[in-house]
Amino acid sequence: MTASAPDTVCPAPPGTPPPPGALHRFGRWCARRARRVIVAWLLVLVAAFAADRAWGGAYEDEFSLPGTTAQEGADLLREHGSDLEGVGAQIVLRADGPLAAHRAAIDDAMGELANLPDVLTVAGPLGTPGALSTDGTIGYATVRFAENPATFDRSYVDAVDTAVAELRADDVTVEYGGTLGQLARPEAAHGLSEVIGLATAVIVLLIGFGSTAAAGLPLVTAVVGLLGGLSVLGLIAAAFTFGSAAPTLATMMGLGVGLDYALFLTTRHRGLLASGVPPEEAAGRTLATSGRAVLVAAATVAMALAGLYASGVAFIGTLGLAAAITVLVAALASLTLTPALLGLLGRRIDRWSVRRPVAESEGADDTWRRWAATVGRRPWLFLTAGLLILGVLSVPLASMRIGHIDAGASPAGYTERQAYDLISDGFGPGTNGPLTVVVAPAGSGKDTDRVAADVRESLQRTPGVASVTRPAYTPDRALLTATVVPHHGPQDESTTQLVHRLEDEVLPKTLDGTGSRAYVTGTTAVHVAFRDVLVERLPWIVAVVVGAAFLLLLCVFRSLLVAVKAALLNLLSISAAYGVVVAVFQWGWGGRLFGVTESVPVESYVPMMMFAIVFGLSMDYEVFLLARIRETWLETGDNHESVAGGLAATARVISCAAIVMTSVFLAFLLSTNVVIKMLALGLGVSVVIDATVVRLLLVPATMYLFGRANWWLPRWLDRLLPRLDPEGTTVRSGQESRA
């Protein structure tokens, strides 16, 4: 009996391709079981939508700023039962003659308002010192609510209208200010921006693909992913507080990246079909190549948005989380539903053509390759031109003024804007943003009276102060409170300076040696504190997001120069987008074209949000372009050919994707919310800059200049870094030069 030979593993013949990976196999599985995947998505979508309708939460702008004097003052007022607790809003009245002539109607209206649900107190214009203009024709009632009225159901406005109906019948103009005015805003045309964005996307995709079926596939995937993401966000909002801008921001991001991701996958799939690959195998290869790039891109965007938590302000972090949720769900839909639909369509993807269909493989060596060759012949010229364009666009950034946009920037027909203007006319613009000074006296009796007198005298002498009320005790006589009216409106830079002057100089100097402490609080002071916190922490956000993206690109592309260059170029791109926002909204260059009738500061959280979003989206295109360049580099080892081939293979689809995403963002300029307009313009401009100046000029120019050094990585660092290969390629020895 002879012993059998041990089992041996025969090496694969040279040139044998590696076995399909997990993504490749998953893509084929989705294509082969297309109906199961589609039905599963429909069931999940219906269940998520129903759950959101049944248990979804609401969105409201609430935030706390621990450690700030504004927050400490507000906490003290709440703790000691001040009549300033709750959320205040103004109801502004105007008559052709003295309001006192309408006393009976005013008293009845104040009584009706006091009986409304969630109303804590009502202070009418005739019985409250300072609430009536000098000529007696304009006055305001201050209504304090247990909760923020902006979060109430719109039917609450009907109840308020009923309460003041007798006043209007008595020829008294009634307007709602503050958070009550926000609730009373006309209902926006829901979905109009989304419809315009999708309609533009249809036109662009039809032109780009030439086929109705191919153009419709990214739209279906993006809409399914968006609806699923918003439903998930609504469910999470039941447990966490999200700002009122969260669903709009999430829609912008989810729809934009959903269209882009499905577009890249569909384009790659059609290129494989054109080269003779069977549909199911093409779906597998698409997921193994471009699908990996989608994974890296989505992870980069989500990581950048998650970096907003480095601000330490939950309000900002949750806005980033809201956008990240729809981005991740959009990526999930692209990676599952797209291959399923591709498998279902098979070779019928070019049905219902509106012109001769164009596949990825076509045109790769004509216009864009000639452009790449042109850049390669004069890289220094194109590098200089690109940097000059970004530099000019960035000039306004140096004068950026960060602040809070008040109701004075709302559309002229809104009741909150009417109330704002009436208050400004009758009492001065500063009355729209009064400050509350809270004093915690150390003594009692005459000592406290002396402190109150000194505080009032110091406040009256302070430049920028229009008026000061006499300090009054809280019900438990533990605190003194006084109202300070600035000369200028809440969003004016002088008002911000006044808050800082009171906090840092006037009040500390007045109370020095008394043991008493003072705090400046109120809505305007809270917004100033919010601005200060975000400005202070913006560098941390930049460091966290740029650092994380640098490490991710380092792991993916195994190149120091590629990662450093990507980070620096994206920073320049963001600076240019900031500059455009400042020029339009702060300088007023063309602001009226977007429905902004006056110059406004840049909203305090816009720079932080823009940075995270723009950096993430810029990395999207960076990943797709560099992945194709690296793929060619690994095949040829020729840097010049790699740059030209990668640019030629992706320029058309990146340009198409950029037009689609830009149209989605710019469609939100129709919003009546100035902050949403600001984000929409900034994001839309950033995509245009990134897809043109950065991708078509700066990236190829720098990569031509760096040559083989593009792919250099120290050996010790290569051993430390994990391998993340976005296109599923295998690193071949000798093709990457390392120290």
Q: Provide the pLDDT for residue 29.
A: 94
Q: Provide the pLDDT for residue 443.
A: 67
Q: Provide the pLDDT for residue 732.
A: 40
- Tell me the pLDDT tens digit for each residue of 111-127: 999 999 999 889 999 98
Q: Does residue 684 carry a pLDDT above 80?
A: yes
722 secondary structure, DSSP code: P
The helix (H) or strand (E) run that includes residue 435 is strand 435-440
Looking at the domain assignment, is residue 370 inside a domain?
Answer: no
What's the sign of the alpha-carbon dihedral 586, 399, 617, 405? Answer: negative
- Tell me the pLDDT tens digit for each residue of 236-281: 998 888 888 888 889 888 988 898 899 889 888 888 888 888 989 9
Residues 601 and 453 in one domain: no
Q: How many domains does the chain have?
A: 4
Q: Does residue 619 carry a pLDDT above 80?
A: no
Residues 540 and 564 in one domain: yes
Q: Does residue 17 carry a pLDDT above 70?
A: no
Q: Does residue 196 carry a pLDDT above 90?
A: no
Compute and round to an integer the Cα radius of gyration of the chain.
30
Across 624-652, average pLDDT: 84
Looking at the domain assignment, is residue 61 inside a domain?
Answer: no
Q: Provide the pLDDT for residue 558.
A: 82
Which of 81-90, 422-431, 461-470 has the weakest average pLDDT?
81-90
Q: Which candidate, 539, 715, 559, 533, places its Cα nearest to that of 627?
A: 559
Q: Provide the pLDDT for residue 191.
A: 66
Q: How confident is the model at residue 445 (pLDDT cuts 50, 70, 90)?
A: low
The fraction of the chain above a pLDDT of 70, given in percent, is 91
Looking at the domain assignment, is residue 422 inside a domain?
Answer: no
Output the 3-class SS for 560-622.
Answer: HHHHHHHHHHHHHHHHHHHHHHHHHHHCCCCHHHHCCCCCCCEECCHHHHHHHHHHHHHHHHH
Residues 255 and 146 in one domain: no
Task: Report helix, strand or coil for 482.
Answer: strand
Looking at the domain assignment, is residue 199 inside a domain?
Answer: no
Report in angstroms the alpha-carbon separations of 392 from 87, 242, 386, 396: 44, 37, 10, 8
Look at 711 and 582; give whichever has higher pLDDT: 582
CATH of the domain at 634: 1.20.1640.10
Q: Provide the pLDDT for residue 352.
A: 66
Residues 659 and 517 in one domain: no
Looking at the domain assignment, is residue 80 inside a domain?
Answer: no
Q: Identify the domain boundary among 486, 503, 527.
A: 527
Residues 678 and 628 in one domain: yes
Residues 604 and 732 in one domain: yes
Q: Provide the pLDDT for residue 2.
A: 42
What rounded mean pLDDT belongs to the chain? 85
Q: Provide the pLDDT for residue 28.
A: 92
Across 468-492, average pLDDT: 90
Pair of tokens at residue 207: 């032109």
- Tell me the pLDDT tens digit for each residue of 158-175: 999 999 999 999 999 999
Residues 347 and 386 in one domain: no
Pair of tokens at residue 69: 């004097």
The fraction of the chain above a pLDDT of 90, given in percent, is 40
Q: How confident is the model at residue 363 (pLDDT cuts 50, 70, 90)?
A: very low
pTM of the model: 0.83
Q: Provide the pLDDT for residue 272.
A: 87
Looking at the domain assignment, is residue 24 inside a domain?
Answer: yes
Question: How far is residue 423's CA from residue 414's CA, in Å, rounded to a whole number?
Answer: 14
Q: How confident is the model at residue 189 (pLDDT cuts 50, 70, 90)?
A: low
The helix (H) or strand (E) run that includes residue 287 is helix 279-306
Q: Does residue 360 carry a pLDDT above 60?
A: no
What's the sign of the alpha-carbon dihedral 503, 504, 506, 507? Answer: positive
Task: Tell me which amino acid residue 163 is.
Answer: A
Q: Does residue 356 carry a pLDDT above 80?
A: no
Residues 640 and 708 in one domain: yes
Residues 30 and 172 in one domain: no
Tally Cβ neighbours within 10 Å of residue 166: 16
Across 291-301, average pLDDT: 85
Q: Identify the domain boundary among 475, 505, 527.
A: 527
Residues 566 and 631 in one domain: yes
Range of the domain at 642: 379-410+534-739
Q: Does residue 10 carry a pLDDT above 70?
A: no
Q: Does residue 364 carry a pLDDT above 60?
A: no
Query: CA 466, 472, 477 angle in degrees (round to 5)?
Result: 155
Q: Does residue 326 carry a pLDDT above 80?
A: yes
Across 432-454, average pLDDT: 85
Pair of tokens at residue 251: 């829609």
Which of 48-52, 353-357, 697-701, 704-708 has the weakest average pLDDT?
353-357
- Tell me the pLDDT tens digit for each residue of 50-104: 998 888 887 877 777 888 899 899 888 888 866 666 788 899 999 999 999 999 9
Q: Provide the pLDDT for residue 735.
A: 41
Q: Identify the domain boundary among 331, 362, 393.
A: 362
Q: Does residue 365 carry a pLDDT above 50?
A: no
Looking at the domain assignment, is residue 7 inside a domain?
Answer: no
Report in angstroms the alpha-carbon separations of 101 from 35, 104, 111, 128, 696: 73, 8, 18, 16, 70
Query: In this structure, are residues 591 and 584 in contact, taking their beta carbons and an 8 Å threshold?
Result: yes
Pair of tokens at residue 100: 């006192």
Residues 406 and 342 in one domain: no
Looking at the domain assignment, is residue 195 inside a domain?
Answer: no
Question: How far is residue 566's CA from residue 626's CA, in Å, rounded to a whole number?
Answer: 10
Residues 226 and 152 in one domain: no
CATH of the domain at 437: 3.30.70.100
Instruction: Provide φ and ψ at 445, rounded to 5°.
Output: 60, -130
